[in-house]
Structure 1
Amino acid sequence: MDDTPQRFPDALPPLRSAALEAGFTMSCDERTGSLLAVLAAARPGGRILELGTGIGEGTAWLLSGMDQGSHLISVELDSAVQAVARAQLGSDPRVTFVTGDGGDWLEAYDGEPFDLVFADTWPGKFTHLDRALSLVTRGGTYLIDDLLPQSGWPEDHHDSVSQLLADLDARQDFHSVRLTWSTGLLMAVRTKS
């Protein structure tokens, strides 16, 4: 069976061109993106949080799965990178872009919890993990990627990934599954408030 996605967001080609032009190499893998679209589609009227907009490919995948009643908040530290996503996707009223440190945003956020949290950057994954998980509603999904060795990983990053996985596996309020697929994923669903 071929696991190559069969449907792609309309915004993907210009985002990929912009990423290539900018030398941005950390965009969302298309298999992870297709999973994001399915997870977003499973939450009609859902509240979705993306930590790490990057150039906007993950954002485009999320938007492609969302219905008109859903809302996405996408947080990115690098304003120049996020500007590409804003230019391509900012006219969609279902998305709110926030430029700033993801950890600071997580600490300051006092709104409703989220049905889906995609942590694609350090805050919400390697830092501020407990805070990100606290923002997942009961029955909601937390997804992280880039858990398989990647070129450019810092020397001690393997240990950080191992510790993160152990921490998530030990939690009693989430049921999780590791997926040795795409860039290496972990998906967890909150089972207790």
Structure 2
Amino acid sequence: MDENKGINLPPAYLDIQEKTRVSGFSMASDVLTGSLLRTLAASKPASNFLELGTGTGLSTSWMLDGMDQKSTLTSIDNDDAFLSIAREYLGSDSRLELVNSDGEDWVMSHLSHRYDFIFADTWHGKYLLLDEVLNMLNPGGIYVIDDMIEQANWPVGHSEKAAKLIQELENRKDLNVTKLVWSTGLMIAVKN
């Protein structure tokens, strides 16, 4: 089995990917992570989705491709230049709300909101404000993070932060956690 063979890309994916390359954004999720996000999104009909760290919208396009028409996705990023790429290609999708905001400001002002699926692809909801974001997850909700295998672009000391986060998630009693040593290294958790 070839994990890269036969993956159907979401509409506009190649256009977003090219704009991402030109923009210099280097932290986009890869195709394998995107494919998994699409499959997981398809398992949550009529659900509320949250993405922390839109970037240029590559992973956003995968989640939208898996979501049904009764679902909604709120996606947050603090860089309007990158968000403008997502807006250009995905902004007409009525299921999507793209928000330009600092992650901490947004999380702290939305603590009462609940989601069925959270993809934390930035510091907030992953290394910062983890408890607050996990409290936003409904029982049975899915929490996904990537980039947990050491990357060439990690700053000095980041390996220790990642190891601490992995241990913290493994030790939580309110989550069932699976680690995938695949793609860039993912963790998937379901809230009890």
One fold, TM greater than 0.5?
yes
Q: Deviations over 1:142-181 (max 9, x none)?
A: 0000000111111000000010011111100001011001
CA distance in 2, matches of 1:72, 1:66: 9
Partner of 2:3: 3
Partner of 1:177: 178
What amino acid maps onto 1:19 in structure 2? T
* Deviation, structure 1 residue 49: 0.2
Partner of 1:88: 89
Partner of 2:44: 43
CA distance in 2, matches of 1:44, 1:135: 18
Q: How does 1:69-80 map to 2 (within 5 A)?
A: 69-80=70-81
CA distance in 2, matches of 1:134, 1:33: 24
TM-score between both structures, scaled by the size of structure 1: 0.97
Q: How does 1:94-173 map to 2 (within 5 A)?
A: 94-173=95-174
Computed over aligned residues only, the root mean square deviation of the Cα atoms, in angstroms, reads 0.9
Runs (5+) with no aligned partner, structure 2: none
Partner of 2:53: 52
Q: Deviations over 1:64-102 (max 9, x none)?
A: 001100000000011111110011100000000110111
* Deviation, structure 1 residue 112: 3.6
What amino acid maps onto 2:2 in structure 1? D
Q: Deviations over 1:93-145 (max 9, x none)?
A: 00001101112111110454111000000000000000110011000000000
CA distance in 2, matches of 1:124, 1:111: 15
CA distance in 1, matches of 2:151, 2:31: 16
Q: Percent identity at matched positions?
A: 42
CA distance in 2, matches of 1:113, 1:22: 33
What amino acid maps onto 2:33 in structure 1? T
SS of the aligned residue for 2:50 comes to: strand
Moved more, 3-12 or 82-91: 3-12
TM-score between both structures, scaled by the size of structure 2: 0.97
Matched, 1:23 2:24: yes
Structure 1 stretches of at least 4 aligned residues deviating more than 2 Å after TM superposition: none
How many aligned positions are there? Answer: 191
CA distance in 2, matches of 1:159, 1:20: 29
CA distance in 2, matches of 1:56, 1:137: 24
SS of the aligned residue for 1:162 comes to: helix
What amino acid maps onto 1:65 in structure 2? G
Runs (5+) with no aligned partner, structure 1: none
